Structures are given as structure tokens and as C-alpha cells.
Chains A and B, each alone.
Chain A
Amino acid sequence: MNSSRKKEGQMKTKKNEKKTTRRSFMKNLSVAAAAGSAGLVTGGCVSLEKTEEMGLKWEEYFKKNYRLMTEEEKGETVARLERLAKLKGDGDIQMSSQGPRENVLYGYAFNISRCKGYMDCVEACVKENNLDRTSKTQYIRLFEMDSGQLDPTTGDGKYHHEVPVENKFYMGVQCYHCENAPCIKACPTKATWREPDGIVVVDYDWCIGCRYCLAACPYWGRRFNWGEPEIPREEMNRKQHYLGNRMRMKGVMEKCTFCVQRTRQGKLPACAEACPTGSRVFGNLLDPDSEIRFILKHKKVFRFKEELGTDPKFWYFID
């Protein structure tokens, strides 16, 4: 009971502090109601934290689509999610809601002749992006190919042996961040979209889990959380982004985000940084001096399933 009174007290001070809009009033009211009912049900002996957690979850449930949030609302939800993670025992998360940088359009190029199939990219991606260890989710897959083919669908995506192998070559596939992305068109709730810097993202909290985007993607670039994703606490990456590697929940879609939590701070995606052979090139397509622009200009490049008109921002090239 104490806690609910405390909440009401907080609400009052908050109300005095700034002009109350109807929305924020309703929100505060709902927190108070949730907190109050929780207090009533358990007869007041429940811990303060439990009540707080319920209130936060209640507010999270009613929040808007990320794209419609003001900067202030983005800050609030990030703060709530950080607090919820702490209450859950996940420790101190630093979650960012950093927006796209000016004059940036990300592009990726993959050097087929250099890749030796070491899979360091896959491992780095799994760690960086907090991918579910139980289902062994991977955003990146490497296909081992025989000479005479150039289509990963004819390659072996499950090879498990020492590399490199004589007369074999390797192609990495992941989300291609299409400019004309079929997944975005398919989503019934606008839970997935393309950011101004070209990254196709998912608002995990807005996704209803219908999996129409998964059916629409011609590159198998999307993954669904069939169960509750799990990561050992000590392996969790706590530097997170709302649209990126924050912890997902069961029943929602996820995908490669070009490591939005890293790239928007000017770093390379984890896969490109981890690659021991230098096969992975990432950069700003709008910067004429970038390496990616050099490759597009001077190498022979191609894109996968070009005939579908999806306009991927991911090219393959051969030295």
C-alpha cells in the first residue's frame, strides 16, 4: 500500500512540475492503478520492486510505435527498459536511442575471393547482438561453394570442418537492407521500417509476431523468437540500442541491424571488425572517399537475386 501512495505522491509532484497533457495524465493514472491493484491483491506485503516492475510493464504495454515517439518519450521508454532489466537481474544496461547520422547511407560489400569461411563474423555477431543461444540463432550464414557456381542456394550452409578447403569458396549472407524491402511492405503494423541511414529495423515491442515479413523476404534475412531467448548473464552485451541488440522477447521478429548500436557511433559492425581476411567492407555510400565507394567503382560487383527489384545495399565482388 505504501508503494502505491508513494506513486501517487510522485504523480502529484510530476503534475506540478510540468503542464500535464491528457496522455501523460492517463499514463500516470494507469501506473497508479496498476501499482494500487498490485498492492491490494497481495495485501501490501509484496516487495516495492515487484510493484514497480508491474507499473513499468504496464506503461511499456501502452507505449507507441517507436517512430511516433518524441525524443522525450524515447528517453522515457529507454529508461524504463534499463530499469526493468536491472529489476530482472540483468545488471546495468546502457541503452541508446541514438538516431541516424546526417548524410549517411550504409552499404556493405563482401569479397568472395578473400573469404575463407572461418566464421569469426558469425561468432562476433552472435556475441555483439545478444542472439539466443538456445536456438543457436545466427544473422549471418556462410555457404561453402564448389567452383562453377555463384549462387549460395546451391552451397552448403551447414559445413562443419576445418577451413580453408582446397577448391572451395565461401559466401556470407545476411539481411541485405533492401531499399525496396518486401518485408516492410508486408508488415501489417508498420513494426519494421527503413531508417534514413538505410538500416532496416524492427520495433520489437510493436511486432505482433505474424511472420508475414519472414514469408516475404527473398533472402531469408529474418529470424523469429519461437521461445524465450536466453543468454548466459556473463556473456550479455550491455551496450545496447533500442532498435538493435537489446534483449528480445518470445514471439517477435528480429534481424541484422548492421549493428546499429556500433555503426551510429562511427564503429564498424561486429562482423566486419572480426573478419580475419578483410573480406567484409562496410561504409558510407554518400562519402565519395569511402572504401565501399571505391569498391563499387573499381571492382566487378553483383547483388543476389537482382531480378526481384529489391535493391539491396549489399554487394558481392571478386578480386
Chain B
Amino acid sequence: MTTNPQKESSFISDCIRWSLSGGIGFKIYLVALLAIMGTGLFSYTKQFQEGLIITGMSDIVSWGLYISNFTFFVGVAAAAVMLILPAYMLKDKDMHEVVIIGECVAVGALIMCLMFITVDMGGPFKVWHMIPGIGLFNWPSSILTWDVLVLNGYLALNSLVPLYILYCNYHNRKPVGWKYKPFVFLSIFWAISIHMTTAFLYQGLPARPFWNNPLLGPRFLASAFAAGPAVIMMVLIAIKQWTRYPVNAQIFFKLKRIIVVSAVINLVMLFSEVFKEFYTFTHHSLSAQYLFFGLQGHDSLVPWIWSAIGLNILGTLLFAFDPTKGNPRYLMVAAISLFTGIWIEKGFGLIIPGFVPSPMGEVVDYTPTSNEILITLGVLATGVLVVTLLIKPALAILLKYKETNA
């Protein structure tokens, strides 16, 4: 592939221009995101100076809001495969139109994941200790090193493939199949692996009976393939609302089907877990007891998990029985309720009870501090900003390519 530097710089500058152009509403939206990021950054400098002591975590609940969100957004990133698989493998035309949006959402989600891991670390400047060669990489023993590999690999796959396709389209060329298709197939397996590996982080710890459960990995996938497409659907509705980019009604129909199947499988697995914990109540069920009903007077998670289950069931039912036949507003409500339900359940509904009771039987409640919440919001705003700034030029290029080749 020959490129001349003149053209290359115009690709980059055009992308930046398309990213940032927009009406006054869009400008306000960007400023709002930047403001949230700024507050997050300010809170993080405080955490950096004083240590993680400014969070609500302790030696008993030693992972909190950051790792909860990390876990959930790995799922969102993995869910891009639900568009990639039909678009490239099954040659689904409708899905092919929007697969790029799924990939942009995956990149944003991965950036959030990496940021959540970084803000959770005690010594972020010592990250180089993990780089093979100059540091010591405890691979294959530590599952955390596997997670580092698969997350970064998936980020590379999901940035480079769309970048290549868009670059070709920008120059009004059809992308060459053999140059990117192998990576697409690789990314399908990779998507499964990022979420299984993240599940194995928890699943592989006999110290924590609540996590040490062979269903954890499969359930991660099922919930991810429900919550992730729900996020993508929200983005698509926004695109349909505010841009010229055509989003076919068929796409909503297909996404809805994926979501319903995954959400139902997720609920079945949830029921199976709840049955196991409560039919024969053992010492190992104490965490579930803490989560669902409270333990020794500590019940801070109880309202959360029940609202999560409520939202989960509501979202699933709304998607399964859609009387409006794809009304965007209706779908938005359904997507938000399912997404929020899974976010709570798989976020701190999964992480916090793993630590309670402690291996020495102690029960404490965890409440995130305002600093911790601000940092989390800052990371979320960064993710939303990344997704926005990626999707805008991508759609502009695709639209132009389509119009010239129509």
C-alpha cells in the first residue's frame, strides 16, 4: 500500500475536524463531558497524593467501585462480537452497516477498563514492572497477566481493523479482504476470551466461595451479550435521532432478538445460582445471604440487588414483548433498564459480596466515598467522549463512501 504523506495528514485532520464539528448542543455536551473528566482528574490527583485511603475500600473489602466497573465494561467491550459475528461471518448486510459502531463502543469500553485498573493500583508508576523484558511478567501463573494480554490485544484488534477499513473508504477504495478478515475472525475468539479470562480472575480463587463457581464465566458472557448490545442499541438510537446516518429498522429487530436470548439465558443462570445458594444453606452461602438479605445487620447491598433483579426482569420482558414493534423511545427505556440492572448486578453485586464475609468471618459494609465516585464518573465520561469522537468521523467517512458509490 503506497501512501503519500499529504493524503495521510488530510485523513487525520479531516477525522479530527469531523470529530469536533457540531451544533451548539454538541458543544455543550462536549464541555459537560470535559467538566466531569476534570473533576475526576482533580479527585484522582488527591488519591494519588494521599493514597487509596480516600476511597471506601479497606483490607476486608479491598476492591470496590473501580473493579466493579472494570468487570462490567469488559463485558460491554466483548459484546461487539455480537455485531461482528453476524456482519462478517454470516454476511448480514444490516449488521454490516453498524458493525463499526459496535467496534467504537468496544474501544471506548476497553479504554475505561484500562483506566479503572490504573486508578485502582497502589503504584501506577510501577506498571513497567509488569512489562516482559524490563519487568517480570508472572505468566502463565497469574490470571491477571492473561487479562493484561487479552485486553490489550483486543484493544489493538478493535482499533486497527476499523481504522484500516475507514482509511480505505476515506480514499474511496474497497478494503482488501485478506488484509483484515483474518483479524476479524481472530477478534471473534478474542472477544470470548477477554470475558472468560476476566471471569477466571475471580472464578479461580478458592479463597472466595462466592466467586469460585464454574458458572461465573458463562454467566459473564450471557450478561455481557445482553448488556453490551443494549448499550449499542442506545448509541444507535442516538445516531438515528441526531445524525443523517441511516439506521435500518431491521437492525433494531435483530439486536432485540440477540438481547432477549442472552437476557433469558442470564436469568436462568441467575436462578440456578440462587437455588444452589439457598436450597441447602452452607457456610459458603453467607456472601449470597449478605447480598440478597443482609448479614448480621449489614444490608447495604440489599436494595441494590433487588432493584437490579427487578430492572433485569423488566428489561427482558420489555424486549421480549414489544407491542410498539421497534419504537425507538420504547427500546430506549428497555435498553436502559436492562443495562442498569446488569450493571448493578455484575458490578458491585458481584465484587463486594466476594469479600463479605472476610475469610475470617467478619462482616463490614462498603460505601464508596465521594472522591471515588467522582473518579469513577470521570472515567465513564472519558469512555463516552472516546466513543463519541470515534463514531463521528467513522460515520462521516462511511456516509461519504456510500454516497459516492450509490
Q: Known contacts A215-B354, A252-B123; decide if A210 and B144 are in contact (CB<8 Å).
A: yes
Contact partners of A222 in chain B: CB under 8 A = 59
| Complex Cα gap A214–B62 (Å) | 8
Q: Known contacts A215-B62, A308-B207; decide if A153 and B122 are in contact (CB<8 Å).
A: no
Closest to A205 in B: B126
Q: Which of B46-54, B235-243, B322-330 contacts A (4 or more CB under 8 A)?
A: B46-54
Q: Known contacts A185-B141, A189-B137, A220-B358; decide if A211 and B62 are in contact (CB<8 Å).
A: yes
B138 contact from A152, A173, A189, Cβ within 8 A: A189
Question: Closest CB of chain A to B154's CB: distance in Å?
Answer: 18
- Residue B359 is within 8 A (CB to CB) of chain A in the complex: yes
Give the size range of A's interface with the partner: 35 or more
- Residue B274 is within 8 A (CB to CB) of chain A in the complex: no
Contact partners of B58 in chain A: CB under 8 A = 226
Q: Which of B19-27, B98-106, B127-135, B310-318 contacts A (4 or more CB under 8 A)?
A: B127-135
Question: Closest CB of chain B to A184's CB: distance in Å?
Answer: 8
- Residue A15 is within 8 A (CB to CB) of chain B in the complex: no
Q: Decide if B51 touches A190 in the complex (CB within 8 Å).
A: no
Closest to A222 in B: B59
Q: Decide if B51 touches A228 in the complex (CB within 8 Å).
A: yes
Question: Closest CB of chain B to A172's CB: distance in Å?
Answer: 12
- Residue A218 is within 8 A (CB to CB) of chain B in the complex: yes
Contact partners of B130 in chain A: CB under 8 A = 188-189, 208
| Complex Cα gap A225–B355 (Å) | 18
Q: Known contacts A226-B58, A251-B122; decide if A215 and B51 are in contact (CB<8 Å).
A: no
Interface size for B (C-beta < 8 A) is 46
| Complex Cα gap A231–B246 (Å) | 65
A208 contact from B50, B62, B121, B207, Cβ within 8 A: B121
Q: Decide if B137 touches A208 in the complex (CB within 8 Å).
A: no
- Residue A207 is within 8 A (CB to CB) of chain B in the complex: yes
Contact with B along A119-160 (1 / 0, CB 8 A): 000000000000000010000010100000000111101000
Contact with A along B178-212 (1 / 0, CB 8 A): 00000000000000000000000100011110000
- Residue B28 is within 8 A (CB to CB) of chain A in the complex: no
Q: Decide if B357 touches A153 in the complex (CB within 8 Å).
A: yes
B121 contact from A152, A153, A154, A251, Cβ within 8 A: A251
Q: Decide if A227 touches B51 in the complex (CB within 8 Å).
A: yes
- Residue B10 is within 8 A (CB to CB) of chain A in the complex: no
Closest to A251 in B: B122
Q: Known contacts A217-B207, A225-B51, A227-B50; decide if A252 and B122 are in contact (CB<8 Å).
A: yes
Contact with A along B358-392 (1 / 0, CB 8 A): 11111000000000000000000000000000000
| Complex Cα gap A226–B144 (Å) | 21
A220 contact from B51, B138, B145, B360, Cβ within 8 A: B360
Most buried by B among A155, A212, A214, A225: A212
- Residue B90 is within 8 A (CB to CB) of chain A in the complex: no
Q: Decide if B359 touches A226 in the complex (CB within 8 Å).
A: no
- Which B residues between 29 and 79 are near A, CB-CB below 8 angstroms? 50-53, 55, 57-60, 62-63
Q: Known contacts A185-B142, A189-B138; decide if A215 and B359 are in contact (CB<8 Å).
A: no
Closest to A154 in B: B361
- Residue B148 is within 8 A (CB to CB) of chain A in the complex: yes
Q: Known contacts A152-B361, A157-B362, A224-B59; decide if A216 and B122 are in contact (CB<8 Å).
A: no
Q: Which residues of B contact A (CB under 8 A)?
A: 50-53, 55, 57-60, 62-63, 117, 120-127, 129-130, 135-138, 141-145, 148, 201, 205-208, 283, 354-355, 357-362
26 pairs, CB–CB < 8 Å, chain A vs chain B: A152-B360, A152-B361, A153-B361, A182-B205, A185-B142, A188-B130, A188-B145, A189-B129, A189-B137, A189-B138, A207-B122, A208-B126, A210-B117, A211-B120, A212-B144, A214-B62, A215-B207, A217-B359, A218-B359, A224-B62, A226-B51, A226-B52, A250-B50, A250-B51, A250-B122, A308-B206
The 4 closest A-B pairs by CB, nearest first: A209-B122, A251-B122, A153-B361, A227-B53
